[in-house]
Amino acid sequence: MKHHGWIILDKPLELGSTQAVGAVKRNLREAGLLGKGKDKTKVGHGGTLDPLATGVLPIAIGEATKLCGRMLDASKIYEFTIAFGSETETLDAEGEISETSDHLPTLAEVEAILPEFTGVIDQIPPKYSALKIDGKRAYDLARAGEAVEMKMRSVTIYSLEIRHPELDSGSRASSASVSENSPWIPDQVRNDVVQEVTLTANVSKGTYIRSLARDIARALGTVGHVAMLRRTKAGPFTLKHAISLDKLNEIGKGADIKDYLLPLEAGLDDIPAFDLTPDQARLLRQGQVLDEQDLIGNPAINGLFLATEDGSPVALAELVDGIVKVVRGFNL
């Protein structure tokens, strides 16, 4: 029996996204669920996560891989720590220090600058990134010592706020933390300088958190790099859905995959679902179109929706000008 759906991995440090997909394939193989040849189950990820980042990595299995592109386009939420005083070649803790500054901002200054980085902003991606330049990965060119010119791009920062700034203020530095849920922040704390600050950002596709951290630090009159990066949400998936690598490995040891596998439609919970009659489902499976008036109940559906038959996914469909067309069909 083939399985279709999502395994949401809480990706650990130093594990690449491709390696994570490989780990899922290995466990499916050990459990006798991967298959071979034409029957081999497809596995893919819904959005690259750097090896030095942790958190939500959606991994699609079977027919859910048809939704990976849509998952790549989804907004994402990150928690990240900016360490002030040094910028690195890679803009994270892995790279060599390229620039330093003795200036440290206050918490109040950090708060005041964040609105400038909210909404539609322009940013230059890191030269150590997977973006391609003339067919070659930027990080390969950078590592080879070649000059890399990254083009500016527009991205959207839906929200940006302080999460847990660690304060460099004597005895408080080891224990004090402030979150946006705090009813108030003492003026003395707000006016203390900070060596690092942790922010929460809800961002559009294509946003580079390392670039955001670099630009925030520079706007504060200093330099900085990402010391910690954790993705807490990708599309509809959060850390509540995620399992550890140890849990994933239990599948290969005989654990029931159904205990860890979210259904295919879990990746589409942001759009409405509509149940079709068997005849309507058959027509969509054959690639034909439906007239809006033929839908039972004449639902007020605009744009994308999940077409189902008896609750089982048939297709990602779209209603345009009164006609229902298949965007992606599912062969379950």
Q: How many CB atoms lie within 10 A of CB 259?
A: 10
Between CA 158 and CA 21 the distance in angstroms is: 29
Cβ-contact 11, 45 below 8 angstroms: no
Pair of tokens at residue 63: 């027919």
Residue 156, classified by CB atoms within 10 Å of its CB into exposed (0-12), middle (13-18) or buried (19+), is middle
Pair of tokens at residue 14: 């130093």
Cβ-contact 222, 104 below 8 angstroms: yes
Taking CA 277 as the corner, what is the angle to CA 274 and CA 283, rounded to the nearest 5 degrees?
A: 95
Between CA 288 and CA 280 the distance in angstroms is: 9
Rounded (10°) CA dihedral 91, 96, 99, 100? 100
Comparing CA positions, the residue from 21, 85, 65 lying closest to residue 227 is 85
Where residue 268 falls (left for φ over 0; alpha for ψ -120 to 50; beta otherwise) is: alpha
Cβ-contact 32, 289 below 8 angstroms: no
> Which member of 10, 50, 92, 215 is catalytic?
50
Between CA 10 and CA 240 the distance in angstroms is: 10
Give the chain's radius of gyration (CA, Å). Answer: 23
Between CA 238 and CA 8 the distance in angstroms is: 8
Please confirm, yes or no, whether 50 is among the known catalytic residues. Answer: yes
Q: Where are the beta strands (DSSP E) in the chain?
A: 5-11, 43-45, 54-61, 76-84, 86-88, 97-100, 119-123, 132-133, 136-137, 153-162, 196-203, 224-234, 237-238, 262-263, 273-275, 290-291, 303-309, 312-320, 323-329
Write out the catalytic residue numbers.
50
